């Protein structure tokens, strides 16, 4: 059974950590029977009408569990984790939804809207109806991003992984075959569409953040020389 756990608005402009870090830390506090597949960062609309902290991003933890396992314990653990690590002055939100939940269809549509529209808490609550959505301090505006993170991640076509397997331990130079063995697909975005070979080298500079595409990690690369490639997306934020 797959479960999506969305977090948002857990930081302030002066805090030393962001929502991405809080989401990644949750793997260490999972109840028995759950295992983390990865953590996906979702970018929402940046607009002056939205009171975001820095980039208006939220995060979703993708979990797998034994069939029939209740999500009540998972929700309780997520609430404790959120209340322990969210920064004072933030407006934290939490959304927990099973992949088989009928609410996912509405949440996917809601998440897509959050990438190009200003939406309200009421709309988030309506989209998540029947599943778990809760605020844990401040204005509770974080429920909007938490719900959007779940919907966008469940769509399988949005966001980028900030945690996946040994993602943060990968070296500055990796063979294409090594990356693919780790579960990361490689795709060239060069205009000639020349596919990378298994023995080609990808210069990662130690920072690999694959896109979520077709429900799986996909790393976009550009040619940088004969049998050498570089990652398409470069490091920008230090709060992941």
In the chain, the domains with their CATH numbers are 2-161 (3.30.70.2200), 166-231 (no CATH)
Helices (H) and strands (E) in the chain, counts: 6, 12
- Residues forming a β-bridge with 65: 34
- Of 12 and 190, which is predicted with more confidence? 190
Confidence (pTM): 0.92
Confidence tier at 240 by pLDDT (50, 70, 90): low
Q: In sequence order, what DSSP letters do the residues of 95-148 get, joined into one string?
A: EEEETT-TTHHHHHHHHHHHTTS---HHHHHHHTTTSEEEE-STT-THHHHHHH
Residue 216: φ, ψ to 5°:
-135, 160
For residue range 155-213, what is the model confidence (pLDDT) as tens digits? Answer: 999 999 999 999 999 999 999 999 999 999 999 999 887 899 999 999 998 889 999 99
């Amino acid at each position: 059974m797959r479960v999506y756990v969305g977090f948002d608005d857990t930081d302030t402009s002066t805090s030393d950590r962001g929502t991405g870090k809080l989401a990644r830390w949750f793997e260490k506090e999972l109840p028995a029977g759950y295992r983390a597949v990865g953590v996906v960062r979702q970018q929402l609309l940046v607009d002056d009408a939205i009171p975001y902290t820095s980039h208006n991003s939220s995060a979703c933890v993708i979990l797998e569990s034994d069939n029939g396992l209740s999500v009540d314990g998972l929700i309780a653990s997520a609430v404790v984790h959120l209340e322990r690590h969210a920064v004072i002055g933030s407006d934290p939100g939490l959304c927990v939804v099973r992949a088989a939940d009928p609410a996912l269809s509405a949440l996917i549509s809601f998440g897509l809207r959050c990438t190009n529209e200003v939406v309200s808490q009421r709309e988030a609550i309506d989209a998540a109806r029947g599943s778990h959505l809760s605020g844990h301090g401040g204005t509770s505006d974080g429920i909007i991003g938490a719900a959007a993170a779940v919907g966008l991640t469940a769509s399988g076509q949005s966001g980028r992984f900030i945690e996946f397997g040994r993602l943060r331990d990968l070296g500055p130079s990796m063979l294409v075959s090594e990356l693919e063995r780790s579960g990361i697909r490689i795709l060239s975005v060069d205009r000639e569409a020349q596919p990378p070979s298994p023995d080609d080298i990808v210069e990662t500079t130690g920072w690999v953040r694959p896109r979520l595409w077709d429900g799986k990690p996909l790393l976009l690369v550009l040619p940088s020389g004969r049998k050498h490639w570089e990652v398409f997306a470069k490091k920008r934020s230090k709060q992941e």
